[in-house]
């Protein structure tokens, strides 16, 4: 039995004479213990407890800082000019400042997932009680919470157990944020170690949120073939009253479906969503449609289709109320973190609130999800007939008329993150040709900076959407809904082929839709690796983008590939918080397949994953602080993450240097000897310029020191093949990845052998790799 | 009068911003005076044309005019190979940035370090960030942006230009000296 916060305070107690005053007993919560595995070395680690492990990674993967800005303005001694590594008034230099900003970003991300988890959990405890049993996969899942077991060191059984995990998480985040205060941490490498800590903590919070909601809301429970949901602008039936939910915290959406069901309104009102709330609503009910990723927000609001918009938290445009107001759509804010300036109507009669909204109210803040359900439905039903004339895009004449106002000042293009040539498209539009505007929408992230910059106040983004109206209306795709966790049996089946390298890798496409060249690239990359029998995993907006491309038969990637966690599977785990299952799968490979001790045994498990599990995360459109935190959780596990071109703006990478031979030595656990294992994986955090650069890089970063010769030959085949396809030549670094002749892919034998000869290649050993001296079984004399 | 103003308006770097290259002659003399220049050519190089002329041709002319090796980032090396252009090394922008800030490194291993690096053919923001690293961490290196748009983190940069003016600049910079 583990007890926490036990406090007994007795100000006066006279035994015998039985005087008892001010007795205060606070036992906190007592966790019952169901797990026999002994507690490992790092239960509930504080921020320095895994510092040595972090150092091992950071020595190999050095930070490359790319400051956004030369100054620091965090305190009133500043602004300080840190140019060329000058120090600020507090003594901080540029490297420390950059790593501090990364830490702040990761803390914001981790705090966001944590506050989301806490808010969700409190709602679930209210509705289902502390004793509600966690169930993420029935009999198929023994290890229900791999990250919680690994980091916190307990085996949670009920919703109530998760409260303690969040207590720990909140304490750590507070400590981490405090380290960014002026006059605290000053060393960039220590900041980087804290970044890793924030990431690990973030993963824990995500796991809590997702296993709680899976258990309580009866989401698919690790089902490899869950049902399909409809996705796309055109999948929404605009002839019905339409409720749009946006954000990440699903209880309001769940209560909307409950209200619809309880009142016999299912099928009469259309419920659709954007971003992760849409994922989670679709995991709950077959009636929920997914409009698309974050970048679809503005085009869909401006289309006027939603009759009421319900926002919860995260990734919601700050101008939602203004945009919705233009098409007379009321907004219901449902979360204290995002009140939108609206009056609090939580305590008011739902009937009355709905009436105000129907009669022209701009919106209301309602902090009770049950009431949101009723108000949203009643408002949508009452308002839809009155909003008919707003459910239309502008006509072509308006676009042409407005385009004629364009004075070719280039302000829009200079504001556009993707430098889209709007002025040129405006000239064409003024002449009645809208194809140019339509073409831009494919590369547009829907930020509306162009609109904001235009001195003529032209609604550029709306006109792009109008120009693409036909295509948008035909946007109807199928996505497999988020399945949640990976089953233990799946892990047992793939454990060996992954660790030996015969399944060439696990590639996770995660994150937001801040793409430089459009979402099509994510779909193409995912397809490439599914075809090559990698395990493809997806979550969040990336999982949606992957669904938005069809083959000649009209099928999406989810319809063409199975959903199991196996070679050639395409696995949608779900929303942002479901990313925990991706890290969880890697952890389960170490614990279930390899039988490494799991409980509070972080270093050993991370060491196992880093050296043996060929997994890579690709966050092609990552933009948020949450994405930074998610990535850093993977870094601490030694899993590399690649981001797209806009990811350069995360302002630091963690790069290996393949030319430094000493950086790539591991211990051979059998002998204790240090062995050169090649740059595997070569980088830990890498921003790429183009899809062409990334395809071979993904294959390369799946290599691990532990690969068998057969596995390495398979991985090399994919790397060399993809490299040849995009670079048109063979890679210059093959010799670093060939350890013995048996590693050489048979089909490329002659070509590679002559290349190796040129490079003066010599054979090296294949170790039983570890970075941890304590795991050496027998030492060399 | 050309302005030292970032193309993407919000990209305000801080106290130190790139000196404006007022005319192509200044750029040419700046590069000529360098001991060991290198050209870094980005992912957009093969995709860009200026008034019908491929940008890659200018990169090749630069290499010839200043006897400088080319570092081709992303998969740009493919386009140079197709042109049968030698003296090209493939490194990613991430790797090239890390290597260029190392004073013991040069792309061919000769005469390290490079004292001047010319940049051309990038997405605006990927380059501004790579240049920012070099501005702060590569004391030995002078960075020169020959992009169409002003790059604030370079040491020297062309201003924001129209295609015509960009072409004119590149033509003049790459022109062989008489005699
Ligand atoms: S935190 Fe330090 S570097 Fe930043 S403004 Fe204050 S004194 Fe200057
Ligand atoms: S809305 Fe689209 S076109 Fe406008 S600035 Fe943003 S990305 Fe560019
Ligand atoms: S900002 Fe407006 S006026 Fe200026 S070029 Fe763009 S569309 Fe035309």
The four Cα atoms A232, A236, A242, A244 give a dihedral, to 10 degrees, of -10
- The contacts of residue A152 (CB under 8 Å, 6+ apart) are A43, A44, A164, A165, A168, A204, A600
B112 near A CB under 8 A: no
- Strands A665-668, A674-676: pairing is antiparallel
Question: Cα(B121)–Cα(B76) distance, rounded to whole angstroms?
Answer: 10
Interface test with B, best of A61, A66, A409, A518 (most B CBs within 10 A): A66
Pocket of ligand 3 (CB under 6 A): A 406-412, 422-423, 426, 453-456, 458, 460
pLDDT per residue as tens digits for the range A692-750: 999 999 999 999 999 999 999 999 999 999 999 999 999 999 999 999 999 999 999 99
Helix (H) or strand (E) run with residue A71 in it = strand A71-72
Instruction: Give the pLDDT confidence score for residue A683 in this predicted structure.
Output: 98
Please name which of A625, A745, A603, A738 lies closest in space to residue A43, comparing C-alpha atoms.
A603
pLDDT at A68 over 50: yes
Q: Which of A62, A689, A727 sits opposite B78 (nearest CB)?
A: A727
Residue A502 has what pLDDT? Answer: 82
- Put simply, the answer to whether A69 touches B16 (Cβ < 8 Å) is no
CA distance A378 to A399: 35
A444 CA → ligand 2 middle, Å: 5
CB of A420 shorter than 6 A to ligand 2: yes
Are A403 and A467 within 8 A, CB to CB? no
**What are the distances in angstroms from CA B158 to CA A191, A738, B25?**
37, 45, 12
B136 interfacial to chain A (CB closer than 8 Å): yes
Distance from CA of A725 to the nearest CA of B (A): 10
Q: From the alpha carbon of A408, which atom of ligand 3 is closest?
A: 5
A728 contacts B78? CB cut-off 8 A: yes
Long-range contact set of residues A420-425: C-beta below 8 Å, sequence gap at least 24: A420/A444, A420/A450, A422/A450, A422/A460
What pLDDT, on a 0 to 100 scale, did the predictor assign at position A487?
97
- Does the CB of A64 have a partner CB in chain B at under 8 Å? yes
| CB of A448 sitting under 6 A from ligand 2 | yes
CB-CB under 8 Å, A83 with B16: yes
Nearest ligand, CA of residue A419? 2
What is the best residue among A410, A429, A444, A466 to mutate for testing ligand 2's pocket, by most ligand atoms within 8 Å of CB?
A: A444
Contact A130, A158 (CB under 8 A): yes
Residue A285: predicted pLDDT: 94
- Residue A443 near chain B (CB below 8 Å): no
* Structure tokens, A700: 């390369």
Rounded mean pLDDT for each run of 10 residues along chain B, 179 residues in total = 84 94 95 97 97 97 97 98 96 98 95 97 98 97 98 98 97 79
Residue-wise pLDDT tens digits, A401-432: 999 999 999 999 999 999 999 999 999 999 99
Decide: A82 and A94 in contact? Cβ < 8 Å.
yes
Q: What is the pLDDT of residues A247-291, one digit of tens each?
A: 999 999 999 999 999 999 999 999 999 999 999 999 999 999 999
Q: What is the ipTM of this complex?
A: 0.97
| d(C-alpha B131, C-alpha B137), whole Å | 10
Instruction: For A480-541, give the secondary structure using H, E and C.
Output: ECCCCCCCHHHHHHHHHHHHHCCCCCEEEECCCECCCCCCHHHHHHHHHHHHCCCEEEEEHH
Instruction: State whether residue B179 sits within 8 Å of chain A by CB.
Output: no
Mean pLDDT of the region A155-166:
97
CA nearest ligand 1 atom 2, residue = A90
A-B interface: how many C-beta pairs under 8 angstroms? Answer: 116
| A417 CA from centroid of ligand 2 (Å) | 7
Radius of gyration, alpha carbons of chain B: 15
- Its pTM stands at 0.95
pLDDT-based confidence at A24, cuts 50/70/90?
A: very low
Tell me the C-alpha distance between A226 and A481, whole Å.
6
CB of A413 within 6 A of ligand 2: the answer is no
Nearest to A415 by CA among A450, A375, A443: A450
Helices (H), A2-47: none
Alpha carbon of A623 to ligand 2 centroid (Å)? 15
Distance from CA of A155 to the nearest CA of B (A): 42
Question: Is some CB atom of chain B closer than 8 A to the CB atom of A412?
Answer: no
Which residues of chain B make contact with A70, given a CB cutoff of 8 A? Answer: 13-16, 136
Per-chain mean pLDDT for chain A: 94
Atom number in ligand 3 closest to CA A450 = 1
């Amino acid at each position: 039995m583990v007890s926490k916060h036990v406090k007994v305070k007795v100000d006066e107690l006279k035994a015998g004479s039985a005087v008892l005053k001010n007795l205060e007993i606070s036992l906190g919560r007592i966790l019952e213990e169901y797990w026999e595995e002994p507690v490992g070395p790092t239960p509930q680690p504080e921020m320095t407890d895994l510092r040595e492990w972090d150092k091992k990674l950071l020595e190999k993967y050095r930070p490359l800082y790319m400051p956004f800005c030369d100054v620091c303005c965090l305190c009133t001694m500043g602004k300080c000019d840190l140019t060329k590594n000058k120090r600020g008034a507090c003594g901080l230099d540029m490297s420390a400042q950059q790593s501090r900003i990364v830490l702040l970003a990761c803390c914001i991300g981790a705090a966001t997932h944590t506050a989301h988890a806490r808010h969700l959990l409190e709602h679930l405890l209210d509705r289902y009680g502390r004793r509600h049993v966690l169930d993420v996969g029935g009999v198929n899942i023994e290890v229900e919470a791999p990250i919680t077991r690994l980091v916190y060191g307990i085996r949670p059984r009920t919703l109530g157990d998760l409260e303690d995990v969040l207590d720990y998480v909140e304490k750590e985040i507070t400590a981490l944020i405090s380290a960014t205060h002026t006059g605290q941490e000053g060393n960039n490498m220590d900041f980087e170690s804290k970044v890793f800590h924030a990431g690990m903590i973030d993963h824990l919070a995500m796991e809590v949120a997702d296993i709680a909601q899976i258990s309580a809301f009866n989401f698919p429970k690790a089902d490899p073939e869950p049902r399909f949901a409809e996705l796309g602008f055109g999948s929404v039936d605009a002839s019905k009253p339409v409720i749009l939910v946006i954000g990440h915290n699903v209880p309001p959406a769940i209560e909307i479906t409950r209200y619809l069901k309880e009142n016999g309104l299912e099928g009469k009102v259309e419920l659709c969503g954007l971003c992760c709330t849409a994922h989670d609503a679709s995991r709950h009910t077959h009636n929920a449609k997914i409009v698309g990723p974050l970048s679809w927000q503005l085009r869909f609001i401006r289309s006027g289709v939603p009759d009421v918009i319900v926002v919860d938290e995260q990734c919601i445009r700050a101008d939602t109320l203004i945009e919705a107001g233009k098409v007379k759509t009321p907004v219901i804010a449902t979360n204290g973190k995002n009140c939108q300036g609206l009056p609090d109507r939580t305590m008011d009669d739902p009937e009355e609130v709905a009436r105000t909204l129907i009669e022209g109210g701009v919106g209301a803040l309602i902090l009770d999800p049950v009431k949101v359900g009723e108000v949203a439905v009643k408002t949508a039903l009452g308002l839809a007939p009155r909003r008919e004339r707003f459910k239309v895009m502008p006509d072509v004449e308006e676009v042409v008329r407005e385009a004629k106002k364009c004075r070719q000042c280039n302000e829009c293009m200079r504001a556009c993150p993707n430098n889209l040539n709007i002025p040129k498209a405006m000239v064409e539009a003024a002449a009645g040709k809208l194809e140019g505007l339509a073409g831009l929408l494919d590369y547009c992230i829907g930020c509306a900076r162009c609109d904001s910059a235009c001195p003529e106040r032209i609604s550029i983004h709306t006109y792009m959407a109008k120009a693409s109206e036909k295509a948008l209306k035909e946007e109807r795709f199928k996505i497999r809904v988020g399945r949640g966790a990976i089953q233990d049996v799946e892990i047992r089946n793939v454990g060996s082929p992954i660790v030996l390298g015969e399944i060439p890798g696990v590639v996770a496409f995660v994150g937001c839709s801040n793409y430089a060249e459009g979402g099509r690239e994510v779909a193409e990359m995912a397809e490439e690796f599914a075809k090559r029998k990698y395990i493809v995993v997806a979550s969040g907006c990336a999982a949606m983008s992957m669904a938005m491309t069809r083959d000649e038969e009209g099928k999406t990637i989810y319809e063409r590939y199975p959903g199991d966690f196996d070679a050639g599977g395409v696995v949608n785990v779900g929303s942002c918080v479901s990313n925990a299952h991706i890290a969880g799968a890697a952890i389960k490979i170490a614990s279930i397949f390899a039988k490494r001790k799991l409980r509070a045994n972080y270093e050993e498990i991370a060491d196992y994953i880093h050296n043996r599990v060929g997994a890579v995360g690709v966050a092609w459109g990552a933009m948020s602080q949450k994405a930074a935190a998610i990535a850093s959780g993977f870094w601490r596990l030694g899993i590399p993450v690649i981001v797209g071109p806009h990811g350069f703006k995360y302002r630091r990478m963690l790069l290996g240097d393949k030319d430094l031979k000493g950086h790539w030595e591991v211990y051979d656990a059998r002998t204790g000897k240090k062995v050169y294992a090649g740059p595997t994986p070569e980088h830990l955090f890498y921003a790429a310029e183009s899809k062409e650069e990334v395809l071979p890089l993904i294959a390369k970063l799946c290599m691990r020191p532990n690969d068998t010769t057969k596995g390495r030959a398979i991985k090399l085949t994919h790397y060399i093949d993809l490299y040849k396809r995009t670079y048109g030549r063979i890679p210059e670094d093959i010799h670093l990845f060939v350890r013995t002749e048996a590693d050489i892919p048979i089909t490329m034998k002659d070509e590679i052998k002559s290349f190796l000869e040129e490079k003066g290649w010599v054979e090296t050993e294949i170790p039983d790799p570890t970075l941890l001296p304590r795991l050496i079984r027998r030492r060399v004399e | 009068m050309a302005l030292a103003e970032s193309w993407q308006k919000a990209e305000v770097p801080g106290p130190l911003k790139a000196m404006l290259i007022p005319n192509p002659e200044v750029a040419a003399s700046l590069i000529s005076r360098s001991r060991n220049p290198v050209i870094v050519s980005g992912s957009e190089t093969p995709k860009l044309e200026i008034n019908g002329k491929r940008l890659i041709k200018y990169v090749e002319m630069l290499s010839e005019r200043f006897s400088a090796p080319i570092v081709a980032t992303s998969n740009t090396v493919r386009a140079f190979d197709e042109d049968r252009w030698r003296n090209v090394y493939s490194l990613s922008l991430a790797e090239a940035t890390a290597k260029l800030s190392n004073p013991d490194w040069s792309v061919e291993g000769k005469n390290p370090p490079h004292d001047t690096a010319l940049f051309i053919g990038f997405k605006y923001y990927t380059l501004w960030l790579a240049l920012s690293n070099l501005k702060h961490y590569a004391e030995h290196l002078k960075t020169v942006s020959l992009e169409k748009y002003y790059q604030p983190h370079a040491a020297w940069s062309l201003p924001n230009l129209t295609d015509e003016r960009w072409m004119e600049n590149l033509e003049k910079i790459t022109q062989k000296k008489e005699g």
